Structure 1
Amino acid sequence: MKKIQLLSILFFLFHHLLLAQESDTLKSPFSEPRYHYFLKTIIFFDEYLDTDNGSFNTTQVRVLLPIGNKAWNLRFDLPLISANTNSINKTAIGDVGMGVSYIPYMKNNNGIALRTRVYANTAADPNFGTGKWVVMPAVVYGKYLYEKRILWLSTLEYQGSFAGENDRNNISVTLFENVMLYFFGKNWVAGDVAFRYNGIIEGFQNNAFVEFGRKITPNNLIYIHPSAGFGTNRTYNFGIEMGVLILF
């Protein structure tokens, strides 16, 4: 009971802290292109990945919906996957996901977000999904550097399966990711390195990307980023992603 009361008090304090800082949200790290939490957003993107077992192409729709005082954010992911492999289906729905984010701390130049995502075992083909239900709790820290010319975002996430098909491997992955974004005019460039430790195979499945983006209208942005996996246990060799963001 004492723990519940303490959590209630903390939630009350965080809630009023965020209300007091609501006027600062447009200057926060989470209000920038590709990483903001405060506007309704639809993202359409297409990602091509080359692997040792063939190539995969994912066309995905992602919807972000801020709720309440915009400290909370809902996310929905619907992937359509095509493969140049021995898959039963060449194109089919992958694992559908949804998530919720909460921002307990916010200042003009830094902030913390808590996020949890769940991906369902919905893939129509075994090659297009994990065969498991997967939960992904994470904490994200964002901070401006060099007079707000550079944004640093650091993420620590755990990915673990909790249900699904018995003949599929369990999932236990710890992710540590850091991305740097530099903004100039209507453009941005970014670099990212993600270290993933897979506890099932006891090895690293890392990747990195660079990204180039541009604001083409007040409410529309486009981006492209090539990426590559590295390490002996990498899940893919190289890839490229292109996307469009619609803010409303």
Structure 2
Amino acid sequence: MKKIQLLSILFFLFNNLLLAQENDTLQSPFSEPRYHYFLKTIILFDEYLDTDNGSINTTQVRVLLPIGNKAWNLRFDLPLVSANTNSINKTAIGDVGMGVSYIPYMKNSNGFALRTRVYGNTAADPNFGTGKWVIMPAVVYGKYLYNKKFLWLSTMEYQSSFAGDDSRNDISVTLFENVLLHFFGKNWVAADVAFRYNDIIDGFQNNAFVEFGRKITPTNLVYIHPSAGFGINRTYNFGIEMGVLILF
């Protein structure tokens, strides 16, 4: 597993050396619905997850802000988490996150994006967060397929804790995710499979989802996607997420 982590980190560092390609793109692979790197975006969504220990519901606000020549993008996440078990119901702020993305290479049909996210140990209730500060460097490859009717996005990410509550488990997870989106008219559908290897428990915590979305106005999009965890170490059984994107 250490070799997989090393390859992930080297992959990230290698792509960080790519030179920016200015004026070499007609349309970005990352500019379709749900991947607005170049537009100011507010995403409001609610996610329900069924677990072996009860249910978890997260209502979240995410803000995406392009900066500079729009090759850079800032991201902010504010989650409100609720848990429902046989004995207790609670609602509190979860781990707040922020991130930055950079697109160093782009052509009109494919490109790379580099991303780093940091989530703080900010949960108001220990059950609603990791108890750790977590950093998540990643590289994303995007490519249009079949005359731009499909968009394929592949992500390699490494998640590692670096500070926080010593009594909580450390975090060391390698993620490999692939999503395929199909666009037709004002609609899109997507399918995603994510493989997550948790080095702490020495097991996989995988999940997959399908998604259905529609552009309802020039600046508003809505989507719904059911998902399911799979594997004996999965973190949840099934879930559903619904959201709206507001472009401004």
The normalised TM-score by structure 1 is 0.91
Give the C-alpha shift of residue 85 in structure 1: 2.6
Which amino acid letter does the alignment assign opposite residue 226 of structure 1? P
Provide the C-alpha distance between the structure 2 equivalents of 1:118 and 1:89, rounded to a whole number of angstroms: 28
For residues 92-129 of structure 1, the C-alpha deviation after alignment (integer angstroms, 9 at most, x for no partner) is 00000000000000010101000000000000111100
Give the C-alpha shift of residue 231 in structure 1: 0.1
User: For this pair of structures, how many residues does the alignment match?
Assistant: 234
1:88–1:130 CA distance, 2 compared to 1 (3 A): farther
Give the C-alpha shift of residue 131 in structure 1: 0.1
Provide the C-alpha distance between the structure 1 equivalents of 2:110 and 2:183, rounded to a whole number of angstroms: 16
Q: 1:38-117 to 2 correspondence within 5 Å?
A: 38-85=38-85, 90-117=90-117
Secondary structure at the aligned position of 1:90 is classed as strand
Give the C-alpha shift of residue 36 in structure 1: 2.1
Report the more deviating stretch, 30-39 or 134-143: 30-39
Give the C-alpha shift of residue 88 in structure 1: 7.2
Secondary structure at the aligned position of 1:127 is classed as helix
CA contact (8 A) 1:172 1:198 kept: yes
Sequence identity of aligned pairs in percent? 85
Provide the C-alpha distance between the structure 2 equivalents of 1:66 and 1:166, rounded to a whole number of angstroms: 36
Greater fraction of residues in helix: 1
Provide the C-alpha distance between the structure 1 equivalents of 2:32 and 2:211, rounded to a whole number of angstroms: 14
Secondary structure at the aligned position of 1:175 is classed as strand
Q: Which runs of 5+ in 2 are unaligned?
A: 1-12
CA contact (8 A) 1:87 1:125 kept: no
The normalised TM-score by structure 2 is 0.91
Alignment match, 1:209: 209
Q: Which runs of 5+ in 1 are unaligned?
A: 1-6
Consecutive aligned runs of 4 or more in structure 1 exceeding 3 Å deviation: 86-89
Alignment match, 1:14: 19
Provide the C-alpha distance between the structure 2 equivalents of 1:165 and 1:86, rounded to a whole number of angstroms: 27
1:37–1:87 CA distance, 2 compared to 1 (3 A): farther
Alignment match, 2:9: none
Secondary structure at the aligned position of 1:123 is classed as coil
Give the C-alpha shift of residue 86 in structure 1: 6.8
Alignment match, 1:191: 191
Give the C-alpha shift of residue 14 in structure 1: 3.1
Secondary structure at the aligned position of 1:69 is classed as coil
Structural RMSD (CA): 1.7
Alignment match, 2:4: none
Alignment match, 2:30: 30
Provide the C-alpha distance between the structure 1 equivalents of 2:100 and 2:149, rounded to a whole number of angstroms: 28
Give the C-alpha shift of residue 28 in structure 1: 1.4
Which amino acid letter does the alignment assign opposite residue 105 of structure 2? Y
